[in-house]
Amino acid sequence: MALLKRWIIATTLGVAFTGLAYAQEAADTVAPEAATRLLAAQAERQPVRGEIAMIAAANHLAVEAGAQILANGGTAADAAVAVQLMLGLVEPQSSGLGGGAFVLYWDAAEKRLTTLDGRETAPRAATPTLFQDENGEPLKFFDAVVGGRSIGVPGTPRLLAELHARWGKRPWKDLFQPAITKARQGFAVSPRLAAQIAGDGDRLKTDPAARAYFFTGDGEPLQAGAILRNLAYAGTLAILAEQGMDAFYSGPLAEAIVEKVRGAEANPGLLARDDLARYRVIEREPVCVDYRDYQVCGMGPPSSGGLTVGQILGLLQPFDISAMSPDDAGTWRLIGDASRLAFADRGRYMADVDFVPMPVKGLLDPAYLASRSELLRGERALESVEPGKPEWDHALNLSDDEAIELPSTSHFVIVDADGNIASMTTTIENGFGSRLMVAGFLLNNELTDFSFRSHSDGVPIANRVEPGKRPRSSMAPTIVLQDGVPVLAIGSPGGSRIIGYVAKTLIAILDWRLDVQTAIDMPHLVNRFGTYDLERGTAAEAMAPALEALGYKVNVRDLNSGLHGIALWGDDVPDISVLESGSPYLAGGADSRREGAVFGQGALKCDPITACIR
């Protein structure tokens, strides 16, 4: 692809980390996590291959932890527990015990796809005015984030327990040992973590525990390569390994979490022990849409990811994208305006379906999407975009959302030797979450994914704060099926841009037939609300004049994805016949914009395990 080749040439090897990048939109756009430019030396990487099992995740130590579990006969569910526990140690700014997650799990024996919702919940004492001042006006974003007010009930610990209970084989205690050992021995601070500590500065120093952990005694941020030990985290994991995750939601650990949240000096929160005790993981119906010869399945509400990705693909279904060039601005006009139409519906209708009626079926109805796609048949950018009117047996009138969603998240994919698949997106929301640290881990600021306003012109907003409610998310863990057989698993961090990152990569693989690594590393062009975001330092910048001529405003900026994916047909054209031929292999890709790694077991004859990891 010429776009990819030009992008490789345009990328500057010497610029690995940039400063903080902030978007211009009023909602869904704050991006305080330091972005990592894709390195030219990595840009022509090939997918990692394996014949037996595979893991793609955001840090090589997490991949090694999962690989050890797989090598000992563990399932994808077992490995997911080990991977997440290690990510909470070595990538604490993005996910951990103090956050929440969504997972898609393919049970190969049952040939069944299950989606589990481990999203955080609002405390029972929360009200729709939680993030408003005394005059009813929304708080400034970081005034809401830093401290206890923004913290929801963590869901990740219960989700890990649920994964193991349903599909695990290895002893529960064994899954904790890699992270416990590394927390005690120490690990080298990665360049990405060091850059984010330095970038967050004083916000991360507000909590004494976080300051003591992430900074030197002189208050200087830890440097890349510094050895960091987390004995408190090791102690927490030892308790949970012995007593199970119930020990997180009751007893001394729960008391410590509540005390930390409610005792935050400048911004105390509302979390209570009863909120923790009541938390449950919810099994949801997968959201699936037909696209070409495939069924693209994702997470349903309270995530908007599966629905919005599905809508984008459904809107593009009538167009032969495979015959269009990724170098042509007209191609991106179609993709960009399809995204804008989907985001308009997202802002109007999508929230926690347990609290707000939602036209889920109507939003993905082929007839509705076909009628909406007629709006794409012009030759210029749509002048304006409004939510559609899907079929819905409800008279509720809703106003458009104003939530801000941030990109500090992680995604990993695991395929085990039996063909079970875990595709999991996990988060504490903003980089370093609420900046409050307890028992060796950071607590989320997930409640700021709610709309700060409860109403607009007297009309309620679907994603307003309510007690016990789960904030809307854009996390989009995805599994693609062909004739009922999984052929691809993928996902990404990136706030509300997750949707665009995942949709672009699916199009690159399913329409343009790129291998999974090349598709992941392809330059980003993302349009949610009218302005086209073009990835800085790539050939996407060269598209600016043509897109402006089509009527778009253009914003050249760092686009901070962290895509990880595994293709189950290998790195050739996706085709179910490859699987039926008896000679399939796995091909994995890790986003070159971050520090991800891929482990492939089998074809590489890995011994030791670390030799398999790129």
Q: Per-residue pLDDT tens for 474-498?
A: 999 999 999 999 999 999 999 999 9
Which pLDDT value is given to residue 373?
97
User: For residue 126, which phi and psi values (nearest 5 degrees)?
Assistant: -70, 150
Cα distances (angstroms) measured from residue 107 to each of 111, 137, 356, 422: 6, 47, 31, 9
Q: Are the beta carbons of 442 and 102 closer than 8 angstroms?
A: no
Which pLDDT value is given to residue 569?
77
Q: Is the pLDDT of residue 45 over 90?
A: no
Which pLDDT value is given to residue 529?
94
Told to judge if 426 belongs to the known catalytic residues of this protein, a careful annotator would answer: no
Distance CA 103, CA 305 (A): 12
User: For residue 393, which phi and psi values (nearest 5 degrees)?
Assistant: -90, 50
User: For residue 236, which phi and psi values (nearest 5 degrees)?
Assistant: -60, -45
| C-alpha torsion sign, points 79, 442, 189, 227 | negative
Residue among 317, 337, 299, 595 at smallest CA distance from 473: 299
| C-alpha torsion sign, points 204, 224, 80, 440 | negative
Q: Which residue has the higher pLDDT, 609 or 86?
A: 86
Sequence-ordered alpha helix ranges (H) in 350-472:
360-364, 366-373
Range with the lowest mean pLDDT among 128-132, 313-317, 389-393? 389-393
Q: Is the pLDDT of residue 605 over 70?
A: no
3-state SS class at 113: strand
Q: Are the beta carbons of 97 and 256 closer than 8 angstroms?
A: no
Q: Are the beta carbons of 433 and 442 closer than 8 angstroms?
A: yes
List the domain boundaries for the chain.
2-282+404-612
User: For residue 371, which phi and psi values (nearest 5 degrees)?
Assistant: -70, -40
| Residue bearing tokens 């894709």 | 38
Q: Per-residue pLDDT tens for 202-237?
A: 999 999 999 999 999 999 999 999 999 999 999 999
Active-site option among 409, 425, 448, 518: 409
Q: Is the pLDDT of residue 473 over 90?
A: yes
Identify the band that residue 516 occupies on the pLDDT scale cut at 50, 70 and 90. very high
Identify the band that residue 31 occupies on the pLDDT scale cut at 50, 70 and 90. very low
Per the DSSP assignment, residues forming a β-bridge with 489 are 479, 566
3-state SS class at 486: strand
Instruction: Report the pLDDT averaged over residues 454-459.
Output: 79
Distance CA 597, CA 333 (A): 33
Helix, strand counts (H, E) of the chain: 21, 23
Q: Per-residue pLDDT tens for 264-279?
A: 988 999 999 999 999 9
Which helix (H) or strand (E) element contains residue 60? helix 60-71
Which pLDDT value is given to residue 582?
47
Identify the band that residue 88 occupies on the pLDDT scale cut at 50, 70 and 90. very high
Identify the band that residue 457 occupies on the pLDDT scale cut at 50, 70 and 90. confident
Q: Which residue has the higher pLDDT, 533 or 201?
A: 533
Q: Are the beta carbons of 90 and 189 closer than 8 angstroms?
A: no
Taking CA 549 as the corner, what is the angle to CA 548 and CA 550, rounded to the nearest 5 degrees? Answer: 85
Which pLDDT value is given to residue 36?
52
How many alpha carbons fall within 13 Å on the CB side of residue 128? 11
How many alpha carbons fall within 13 Å on the CB side of residue 555? 17
Integer Rg of the chain from CA: 22
DSSP 443: P
Identify the band that residue 247 occupies on the pLDDT scale cut at 50, 70 and 90. very high
DSSP 147: S
Q: Which residue has the higher pLDDT, 395 or 24?
A: 395
Identify the band that residue 458 occupies on the pLDDT scale cut at 50, 70 and 90. confident
Which pLDDT value is given to residue 608?
44
Instruction: Name the packing angle between helices 60-71 and 76-90 (round to 10°).
Output: 150
Instruction: Report the pLDDT averaged over residues 253-262.
Output: 98
Distance CA 614, CA 22 (A): 31
Q: Is the pLDDT of residue 591 over 80?
A: yes
Query: How many CB atoms neighbour CB 147 within 10 A?
Result: 22
How many alpha carbons fall within 13 Å on the CB side of residue 279? 33
Which pLDDT value is given to residue 454?
85
Which pLDDT value is given to residue 393?
55
Q: Is the pLDDT of residue 182 over 80?
A: yes
Query: What is the β-pairing status of strands 525-527 and 531-535?
Result: antiparallel
Which pLDDT value is given to residue 22?
21
Residue among 532, 503, 531 at smallest CA distance from 519: 503
Q: Are the beta carbons of 161 and 249 closer than 8 angstroms?
A: no
Q: Are the beta carbons of 296 and 480 closer than 8 angstroms?
A: yes
Q: Percentage of residues in the chain with pLDDT exceeding 90? A: 79
DSSP codes of every residue in 121-164: B--TT--TTTTB-TTSPBPPHHHHHSSSTTPPBP-HHHHHHHHH
DSSP 422: E
CATH number listed for the domain at residues 2-282+404-612: 3.60.20.40
Q: Percentage of residues in the chain with pLDDT exceeding 70? A: 86
| Residue bearing tokens 């299950």 | 114
First to last CA, the chain: 24
Mean pLDDT of the chain: 88
Its pTM surpasses 0.85: yes
DSSP codes of every residue in 4-22: HHHHHHHS-TT--B-----
3-state SS class at 109: coil
Distance CA 264, CA 609 (A): 43
